[in-house]
Amino acid sequence: MMDGVKAAAVGYVYTMALKKDGSFWVFGWNSDGSIGNGGINQYQPPVKVMDNVEFISAGDHLSAVKNDGSLWCWGF
């Protein structure tokens, strides 16, 4: 489904993928804004959320740490 993935994490109804190029992708059910593209309560195919990401984590909300050390969180 997706090539070049170096890390993945699974939340309640979504999946996150961090690609080797540092791009961060999310797909699945967009409840509580978990996909990060402004929509809610609908299925989303893979959506690129941001670039320059080093680390991802899934739970009730999504977290990403960017190359500059900034922490980003969204969702429930």
The DSSP H or E segment spanning 65 is strand 61-66
Under DSSP, is residue 20 helix (H, G, I), strand (E, B) or coil?
coil
Number of compact structural domains in the chain: 1
Range of the domain at 58: 5-75
pLDDT tens digits, one per residue of 18-74: 999 999 999 988 776 777 776 677 788 898 999 999 999 998 788 999 999 999 998
pTM value? 0.85
Instruction: Categorize the per-residue pLDDT at 9 as very low, low, confident or very high, splitting at 50, 70 and 90.
Output: very high
Cβ 67 vs Cβ 54: under 8 Å: yes
